[in-house]
Structure 1
Amino acid sequence: MNFSAKQVVFISFMLFSMFFGAGNLIFPPFLGQSAGDQLWAALAGFIVSAVGLPILGVIAVAKAGSLNELNLRVHPIFALVFPFLIYIAIGPGLAIPRAGSLAFEMGAAPFLPENFVESPVSLLIYTIVFFGLAAWLSMYPSKLISLFGKLLTPILLALITVIFIKSLMDPIGSFKSPIGNYRENPMFQGILEGYLTMDALAALAFGIVIANTLTAQGVIDSKKKSRYMMYAGLGAGLLLAVIYLILGYLGATSSSLGQAENGAIILSNIMTYLFGQSGTLILGIVFTLACFCVSIGLITSCSQFFSTAIPKVKYKVWVIILAVLSTAIANLGLTQILQISVPILGMIYPIAIVLIFLGLLDEIIKRNPYIYRSVIGFVTIFSVLDTINKIFLGSNWSGAFEILPYYIEGLGWLIPALIGLVVGYILGWLRGSTPVTRTNP
């Protein structure tokens, strides 16, 4: 079966809406206000990492055929453990409950009586409804194209377009001088900001949803499926880049409204300036839609993975489990979960990035198992030690880690990865590398 251009667009819309959450709304305006008249250089760097890495992740999974196939090139045990860490970290352990909490704070709290907002009951009621609806819509993953591609994503894009057009008709202000690290090297700082979105992890996780959706639409041939996954990734990447440009521009013009501590405050100030009191309502709808789409995408992808990994528990049961768990975490300890989940997310993110690049370079390294295992091994050792240092040792080892270039910026794993590449190549040359065969973990 061949997809029409229209169907490819809908798949791209679906993937875009799964990526585009509250964090993606907040980062670019803050970058824009900080970068000032260096906006375009900073945004270029931001798009390289915040769009480039996730799309490369989708392409790597598509080329390999599946995330499992990519993981198996390292080792069967790695193929069993690493996906569990990804899906737990970006699913019920962090992203799903955070989406519900942010949707409440930005989409509901501004319109509720203050004494009711401060009561735990208000968040409980909201998250039960929010995750209940998300679970209900996640029960039918084959219909996500219609839900995302034909309804939710167009609404979200239309709202952002209206905001942008209004900002052109009623200019907010002019670009100011850059602040902080954006003065010296705005492009590099933009790359670092985009890197911190950690969307490459989501790219690995969402591959299963795109692949299963294509199968449900009648695309069985693996080569065609990989090709359409790549098209969807590129389409979603283009949409993300355009939206980031718009949000960054809005942030850069907002300096006259006062410096803000985060992107959410910047957006609130912009919307109040452009639309008055109704701006809060529009922004609340945008945040709610973004968080809702991401929640459905994450519940769906996590449920599909866990139902495949543990087939005794059916897909719909996993949907309910994840929705209930996310509701509980959002209400009973999100702050504590964030304190644990964020360092763990930081631990597995470098591993995901080097895995993506190994997958993309597979034809060049000729599926050398020593390179896969050595690179992943060195980066894993670094990431685990760095996480132990941050969580359990109060960063007492940071002085030693800072010897590594760009460690403070979050890129300390680069040297371990390069060492692993050299060691793996030498081992492969000495022992005579052979391609990794497909086996099930």
Structure 2
Amino acid sequence: MNARKQQFVVAFALFSLFFGAGNLILPPQLGFKSGPFWWLVALGFCLSAVLIPLLGILAHARLQGTMYDFGKKVSPTFSLVYCYLVYAISIGLPSPRTASVTHEMGVAPLFDTPSLLTSFVYFALVFLFVMNRSKILDIIGKLMTPAIILILFSIIGVAVFSMDGDFGGSGFTHPFSAGILEGYQTFDAIGAVVVGGVIIISINLKNKASAYHEKRKLIGRAGWLAGLGLCLIYTGLILTGALMQGEFAKDINRTALLSGISLKTLGNTANLFLSLLVSLACFTTAMGIVTGTADFVKGRFNDSQRVYMLTALFGCILGVLMGQFNVGYIIAVALPVLMLIYPITIVLIVLNVLPEKYTSKKIFRWTVITTILFSIPDFFVSLGFEEGMGSIKNWIPLSAFHMGWVVPALVVFIICNVFLKKQGD
């Protein structure tokens, strides 16, 4: 395979591994609620759901290791705990969510079957593909992604060119931060450190003789292409939701809105196309999560293929069980976890992208510790303890936007760099 063709295959694979349940159902409702401020929401959403994950892929291109390498500068123990926590979250929440969305939007409108049967068949296929992981790049990059992109552009194109362009009011007080926080729910920053490792291993299986700098260039360019595609799709879906503001009830839920938009844009064939789109988008993400988790656990047990198989089987069984809950419930359960783990993941990604002269072990350690400490108030607020955290959050910058960790982490990063530079002098 020539370099340019492989670059597009990897880019398509990255796009498809990222573009799952949340990426499909979250943007339209964001636009629907934002009205004339859809562009601000889109900017915030793309910041947390495109730019940060893209930086995660670039960090993987630089490290060319596993997720363990992301946090080992803090400490080996921290990195190990972080990895197990992220993989547990990934197979426990976003992976089962893909099965729930597939049933609610892809299967239920066409067939009168129970969700348990959908989840069982769904994760049986996931397990089959995960056990053939050497073919994952080609299966996703050449077959599934083009179909996903074609259907998405059909929905967006018809909506943008056929609607009047009249926007109603906005339901957001802070559209930009609302977009950022909703981007958390895509799990894509976490996805970057999980599926980035899958891409690295898949490339190594196909190109064992390639040099480090060749693989870094391939992953980097493919990451930028995938990021551009995601940005265009998200912006288009948010704009589509905004244009449809007068077409549906204000309290419509995420899945019903996407179904309604599909019906209005694709007509009588909407259910068939939407079922195909949802199934493909969700399936590729679940496959990436289960493969990444199995790869990591396998690496911790001397590359045992048996451990790989057992981990993949456990991830699929858990997916079947958790997939019985509806999408709204899984999103609600995920929020407190995301308010704590997402800031840590973002900081680790950024630190791994920056030049090494600015990211010594001490700087890693203190910046991450600061991030953890200042994420705790948002974590407790998301659990319902807002009254107890009110006095603390009042003096933390950006805490009103649920981003109280940003300024303290940045200040500590700068102070550590200045202090260590003076010590070096």
Query: Does TM, scored on the shorter chain, surpass 0.5?
Result: yes
Show the 5 A alignment for 1:277-426. Answer: 277-311=268-302, 312=304, 313-331=306-324, 341-365=334-358, 367-384=359-376, 386-387=378-379, 390-391=382-383, 396-422=388-414, 424-425=416-417
Report deviation, 1:386: 4.6
Does structure 2 retain, via aligned residues, the 8 Å contact 1:371–1:423? no
Q: Residue type of the partner of 1:75?
A: S
Find the partner of 2:216 among 222, 226, 231.
Answer: 226
| Partner residue in 1 for 2:265 | 274
Show the 5 A alignment for 1:35-434. Answer: 35-66=34-65, 67-90=67-90, 92-113=91-112, 122-167=114-159, 171-181=162-172, 186-187=175-176, 189-219=178-208, 220-258=210-248, 259-311=250-302, 312=304, 313-331=306-324, 341-365=334-358, 367-384=359-376, 386-387=378-379, 390-391=382-383, 396-422=388-414, 424-425=416-417, 428-429=420-421
Farther off after superposition, 332-341 or 403-412: 332-341
Q: Residue type of the partner of 2:31?
A: G
CA distance change for structure 1 residues 386 and 249 in 2, over 3 Å: closer, same or farther?
Answer: closer
Farther off after superposition, 103-112 or 270-279: 270-279
Does structure 2 retain, via aligned residues, the 8 Å contact 1:15–1:233? yes
**Deviations 1:372-429, CA, capped at 9 Å, x for gaps:** 1101111122334653565485762243224212223221111331343255336635
| Partner residue in 2 for 1:439 | none
Does structure 1 retain, via aligned residues, the 8 Å contact 2:25–2:255? yes
Report deviation, 1:32: 2.2
Report deviation, 1:160: 1.6
Q: Residue type of the partner of 2:84?
A: F
Report deviation, 1:3: 5.0
Report deviation, 1:370: 1.4
SS of 1:255's equivalent in the other structure is coil
Farther off after superposition, 215-224 or 79-88: 215-224
User: Are 1:16 and 2:7 counterparts?
Assistant: no
CA distance change for structure 1 residues 275 and 214 in 2, over 3 Å: closer, same or farther?
Answer: closer
What is the root-mean-square deviation in Å for CA atoms of aligned residues? Answer: 2.7
CA distance change for structure 1 residues 289 and 395 in 2, over 3 Å: closer, same or farther?
Answer: farther
User: Unmatched 5+ residue regions in structure 1?
Assistant: 434-441
Q: Residue type of the partner of 1:307?
A: K
SS of 2:323's equivalent in the other structure is helix
Distance 1:135 1:98 in 2: 16
When normalised by structure 2's length, the TM-score is 0.89
Distance 1:338 1:398 in 2: 24
Report deviation, 1:226: 2.0
Q: Residue type of the partner of 2:77?
A: I
Distance 2:214 2:74 in 1: 25
Does structure 2 retain, via aligned residues, the 8 Å contact 1:373–1:424? no
**Percent of aligned pairs with the same residue?**
31
Distance 1:178 1:60 in 2: 40
Q: Residue type of the partner of 1:268?
A: S
SS of 1:256's equivalent in the other structure is coil
Q: Residue type of the partner of 1:87?
A: Y
**Deviations 1:77-127, CA, capped at 9 Å, x for gaps:** 12211111111112x2201111111111111112234xxx6xxxx111111
Distance 1:338 1:279 in 2: 25
Does structure 1 retain, via aligned residues, the 8 Å contact 2:32–2:241? yes
Q: Residue type of the partner of 1:82?
A: Y
Distance 2:265 2:347 in 1: 43
Does structure 2 retain, via aligned residues, the 8 Å contact 1:32–1:251? yes
Report deviation, 1:336: 7.5
Report deviation, 1:135: 0.8
Does structure 2 retain, via aligned residues, the 8 Å contact 1:176–1:255? yes
Report deviation, 1:196: 4.8
SS of 2:207's equivalent in the other structure is coil
Does structure 1 retain, via aligned residues, the 8 Å contact 2:11–2:226? yes
Distance 1:84 1:386 in 2: 22
**Deviations 1:180-219, CA, capped at 9 Å, x for gaps:** 336xx65554444435534111111111111111101115
When normalised by structure 1's length, the TM-score is 0.86
Does structure 2 retain, via aligned residues, the 8 Å contact 1:26–1:262? no
Q: Residue type of the partner of 2:246?
A: S
